[in-house]
Amino acid sequence: MAESKSSKNTSTESSLPVGLKTPLHQFLTSMQQEQDLSPNTLEAYRRDLSRYLLELAARDVKSPDQATSQHIMKLLHHLRDLGLSPATLARNLSSIKRFHSFLVVRGACRHNPAESLEPPKLERKLPDFLTVEEIARLMQAPSTDEPLGLRDRAILELLYASGLRVSELITLERTHLLLDTGLLRVLGKGVRERLVPIGRQAIACVEAYLREGRPLLSAPHSDETVFLNFQGRGLSRMSIWNITQSAAEKAALEKRISPHTLRHSFATHLLEGGANLRDIQELLGHADISTTQIYAHIDTKYLKEIHRIYHPRG
């Protein structure tokens, strides 16, 4: 039977010198009894500190009081070279800092060698996005000869044309579609409303779905939700994910994509086209603007013009 992580860590601890093992046990016991930590958090401390103390033992350090900031930085560099993420490195350093702080308070250490050390800066991974050519292939994937295909094409076009979040898409109601003016009323995060322009191609696809697809999916129990499943009910987040995945497979896209990929592609293509960050922020709904501010201060004609000029399918 496979050995559990906990048993492996216990085995690691047993190989430590007494001068390192005893402080570790004292720290973990204190964390468990006094801090009421979850088993997962406690296990993370055990794992991080066992690794750290083994490194000290390998350098002939007999007690935590002999550890230096150089010892800690060498460990972090070693872990980085092994491919551990910046977030994991930061957590390891946090564990080491807390361990030494505990020992200083207990009088077992004269100083905390990790106190002045800064955690590695977290690198922000650039989100994946599709090229304009890949977008075109993706949009052609659904078959528009049947209701679900009309729906899926409208969903993909709308996600890319507007940069909507999935949560915003699945809560769209028919009264939110201001297609005559080329706008959507979107209820975003924090129950904030904004107006979002959409391009001609997305409008045409949504209109085709409303005219030829949705009536065949609608049922007596259906509400005003725009996008329905075959039972006449609103779609879930997972449904949108499945629709996106299915279209990507049909389009033979090699990239792993999600609905959020279309949001990133929307922003990236606007930026590449020359739109400024403030306009893109407004379109994505990142600005903290209330409903009344939207109608009073946002120049929707200007945003529509920005969308028309810079969006590939505007």
Query: How many Cα atoms within 13 Å fall on the side-chain side of residue 187?
Result: 9
Residue 212: predicted pLDDT: 97
- Marked catalytic residue, from 295, 301, 302, 308: 295
Active site residue 165: yes
- Marked catalytic residue, from 189, 200, 255, 301: 189
Give the end-to-end CA distance of the chain in Å, rounded to a whole number.
Answer: 59
Active site residue 211: no
Q: Is the dihedral of CA 97, 103, 106, 109 positive or negative?
A: negative
Domain with CATH 1.10.443.10 in the chain: 132-310
Active site residue 8: no
What digits encode the pLDDT tens for the residues 224-257?
999 999 999 999 999 999 999 999 999 999 888 8
- Marked catalytic residue, from 46, 47, 151, 165: 165
Mean per-residue pLDDT, 7-23: 72
- Marked catalytic residue, from 263, 264, 269, 311: 263
Active site residue 52: no
Dist CA 211 CA 225 (whole Å):
15
What digits encode the pLDDT tens for the residues 271-287?
777 676 667 777 887 65
| CATH number for the domain formed by residue range(s) 11-106 | 1.10.150.130
Highest mean pLDDT of the ranges 11-15, 92-96, 305-309:
92-96
- Report pTM: 0.57
Active site residue 286: yes
Active site residue 263: yes
What digits encode the pLDDT tens for the residues 68-114?
999 999 888 878 766 677 888 889 999 999 999 999 999 999 999 99
Domain with CATH 1.10.150.130 in the chain: 11-106
Which one of 1.10.275.10, 3.40.920.10, 1.10.443.10, 1.10.357.10 gives the CATH number of domain 132-310? 1.10.443.10
